[in-house]
Structure 1
Amino acid sequence: MSSPNTVLDDTSSFVPQEGGQDAGHLWMHFTRMSSYADKPVPVIERGEGAYIYDSNGKRYLDGLSGLFTVQAGHGRAELADAAAAQARKLAYFPIWSYAHPTAIELADRLAALAPGDLNRVFFSSGGGESVETAWKVAKQYFKLTGKPGKHKVLSRAIAYHGTTQGALSITGVPPFKQAFEPLVPGSVRIPNTNFYRAPYFVADDEKAFGLWAADRAEEAILAEGPDTVAAVFVEPVQNAGGCFPPPPGYFDRLREICDRYDVLLVSDETICAYGRLGTMFGADKYGYQPDIITTAKGLTSGYAPLGAAIISDRIFEPFAHGDTIFAHGYTFGGHPVSCAVALANLDLFDREDLLGNVRRNENLFRSTLERLHDLPIVGDVRGDGYFYGIELVKDKKTKATFSPEESERVLRGFVSGALFEAGLYCRADDRGDPVVQVAPPLTCGQAEFDEMEQMLRSVLTRAWDQI
């Protein structure tokens, strides 16, 4: 039911008050630019704690942490001060054959935090670049270890992994890809872990569904040929489609399959790392050991751009000898200022026990959102930690989803703008079935949960009248 313009990160139905800046020269990301041909663009001017303020002074609850990013909340002076102090000392230097102290210190710290033997840190500028890095590492690793045919990757249906040509090839959202094809060959799709839409033969048994979904990876590896498959890319909780958590046993079986066929398990934690699920890494939450973790976003709480691929000693080993070089890098990867902000951000995590705050409150967040089940339009509430999706349906008994016309009219035409108008910044999305996603800063508690639920309830009650 997707079309090229059905990702609803924009607030195209929201008409702000007069005033604010003219954004006529700005080409916004993932946005129908025609939506603003005859009306002004909403302009967010400042943030404080869990709230953002537009150019007219109106306050909104930031129910998406910017873009699953602002873990520590807005307006943290200590993070701004860390950036300023580093910029005064060394504003920029690359890590191409050189190093600088903040990159070294941050790499040491991430290696100490990451599970198992993930001790090598390759910095990038963001999540898509980290995914790109991981695929290239996997390809070259197998060339260096005598298996040059292993280059393909498996990823899940509707999963989003980035927009660079390689990461976009791994992405499982067809409308995102069509305008840019042909892409990098060798990416193969397997089922995701949406238990709400599980096949009928495992629809009543979450563990059986998880094993069935994981076994499809083995099926795909055998169909492609084990000597051609290099890696499987999965998120701990899949973002696109609306926050699909892993069923019991899923990652244990997937790890077994990867080991059986010498395939790398890449945990794409661009969203799920750094506390979003109440643990430093999503792999910690679900007890599995990846070969590579790709990260970004919450590493700096969004106060500076930074990503990292954290790679196992085993995978790094063949790169460490002779004249071997990994011919890959980014101008701003491991930027001194960004690394300084990340270090200050991790200090803040420790000082304020942000991971503990999520763990103490995650069940309250879930139960608060589950109150919405009494609405006829709410089919499913799913997710984990501070990362949830609310799937909208037009028939709860049959789980019937919206038609493309209904999605355009109700989700994009009403829900997206009405939530923003009500004072809640979140995401209305129909890359799979129509959902509303919420992922507040990790500093939030019951007061913010209640406020969020009340605004969602009001808007979704009115949305039902649109169907």
Structure 2
Amino acid sequence: MSHVFPRSMKSSPPRAVRGEGCYLYDDTGKAYFDGSGGAAVSCLGHGDPDVIAAVQKQVQSLAFAHTGFFTSEPAEELADLLISKAPGDLDRVYLVSGGSEATEAAIKLARQYYIEIGQPQRRHVIARRQSYHGNTLGALAAGGNAWRRAQFAPLLIDVSHIAPCYEYVDRHDGESAYDYGQRAAQELEDEILRLGPDTVMAFMAEPVVGATMGAVPAVEGYYRRIREICDTYGVLLILDEVMCGMGRTGHLFACEADEIAPDILCIAKGLGAGYQPIGAMLCTRQIYEALENGSGFFQHGHTYLGHPVAAAAAAAVFKKLDSQNLVSRAAMMGEKLHTALVERFGQHPFIGDIRGRGMFQGLEIVADRETKTPFDPDRKVSARFKTAAFEAGLVCYPMAGTRDGKYGDHVLLAPPFIMEDEQVTEITDKLAQALATATG
């Protein structure tokens, strides 16, 4: 009998014993293609010798030094690497242990920033419906997925949620993509005005929505308008790139495709590529200096901030992404994967939309392709798809509730950047097998 607290108490998962390249192996020897990188984590695949060597070397010299007393060389190096490539005026890096910690820190930093500059009335956060920003209470409050929030709602801070930029469902007939994006963005200004312009501290969004909607990018021009609105009303723009960042979309930072830069940026997952748990919150010089010239203290913290071994692993990952052109490879292989998905499923009666950027692709499953009607939630299409794909030897990321937290189903793909051409066919073959089972 296991004493591990599992994700699901209704089933016992197989025991993973090793990983090699794009594959994971269980204790029976069965191979699984890691088509979602776990949860968009394993961008370099499994068993990378350079990252492993960096971890081993760091453990031998310094495993841990609490940031209340010390900084460390790996933390300093990683921060320098990130800022050397970061968009806009991002200048400081706050190293944490994962995505929820990064988004939680971002919300608290936004609040403290306005206190430090003498605007304590700014307290409201605006986010989007069908977003996901993590599972700590602050991050969960910012997230807009009704199913994840429901049972914890009495514990959550009050966050306003506007519509996502969800072209497949929300763009009107006869409306251009650009005009739709401007209309969607206008909801932010409307909500700021409703709450009171001097009471809003931040708007938080994912450049490409991951877990809850399945690789949904914004239309061209949407984020430029969002940036304009934030600037007009003095609202901080927090971008959550925990899942879509670090090269996953074919850009090192996902917001580069939208030609904007945030005030605060959150990354994780691909930052450590699974070799160590790590995340980061990046902020602008302006925000940092407000605290530096004020209290001189960010009232926040965790024991494992700036962990030397995690930072060493992430620095090794970053160097590989940069020096081996793996970000451009993600763009190239992502285009091949997208083309193959369209060829295989573009006219499939149960696939309504195929979307994404780079190695971040999603398929929306529908009961009726013409009307875009989702399956009845009682059919549990996503759960059946996940089981069927796993039995076929494919790890992917199906989720229910794509439309509103209850209705809709999608499958998210986020394979390692090192994937080869022949594995594109392996993915589509196993997806087809799972789709037939899930919708049959």
Query: What's the offset of the Cα at 1:455?
Result: 1.0
Tell me if structure 1 keeps the 8 A contact 2:400–2:409: yes
Unmatched segments (≥5 aa) in structure 1: 1-21
Query: What's the offset of the Cα at 1:80?
Result: 1.4
Query: What's the offset of the Cα at 1:307?
Result: 0.8
SS for the counterpart of 2:155 is coil
Q: Does 1:422 align with 2:392?
A: yes
Match of 1:166 in 2: 138
CA change 1:186–1:150 in 2 (3 A) is farther
Query: What's the offset of the Cα at 1:73?
Result: 0.7
Give the counterpart of 2:355 among 358, 382, 387. 382
Aligned-partner residue type, residue 137 of structure 1: L
Tell me if structure 2 keeps the 8 A contact 1:381–1:388: yes
Q: Does 1:270 align with 2:245?
A: no
CA change 1:203–1:402 in 2 (3 A) is farther
Tell me if structure 1 keeps the 8 A contact 2:238–2:264: yes
Distance 1:186 1:227 in 2: 17
Q: Does 1:258 align with 2:230?
A: yes
Match of 1:214 in 2: 185
Match of 2:157 in 1: 185
Query: What's the offset of the Cα at 1:370?
Result: 0.9
Q: Does 1:28 align with 2:3?
A: no
Distance 1:42 1:155 in 2: 37
Q: How does 1:55-454 map to 2 (within 5 A)?
A: 55-200=27-172, 204-239=175-210, 240-321=212-293, 323-371=295-343, 372-406=345-379, 408=380, 410-412=381-383, 414-432=384-402, 433-454=408-429
Distance 1:246 1:403 in 2: 27
Aligned-partner residue type, residue 135 of structure 1: I
Distance 1:335 1:68 in 2: 22
Match of 1:10 in 2: none
Aligned-partner residue type, residue 359 of structure 2: Y
CA change 1:273–1:222 in 2 (3 A) is same
CA change 1:450–1:204 in 2 (3 A) is farther
Aligned-partner residue type, residue 334 of structure 1: G
Aligned-partner residue type, residue 417 of structure 1: T
Query: What's the offset of the Cα at 1:322?
Result: 5.2
- Which of structure 1's runs of 4+ aligned residues deviate more than 4 A? none
Give TM-score scaled by structure 1 length. 0.90
Unmatched segments (≥5 aa) in structure 2: 403-407
Query: What's the offset of the Cα at 1:228?
Result: 1.3
Aligned-partner residue type, residue 187 of structure 1: V
The superposition leaves residues 102-151 of structure 1 with CA deviations (integer Å, 9 ceiling, x where unpaired) of 11111111111111210111111111110011111100111111211111
Give TM-score scaled by structure 2 length. 0.95
Query: What's the offset of the Cα at 1:91?
Result: 0.6
Query: What's the offset of the Cα at 1:352?
Result: 2.1
How many correspondences in the alignment?
433
Distance 1:276 1:394 in 2: 30
Aligned identity (percent) is 37
CA change 1:199–1:116 in 2 (3 A) is closer
Distance 1:269 1:203 in 2: 32
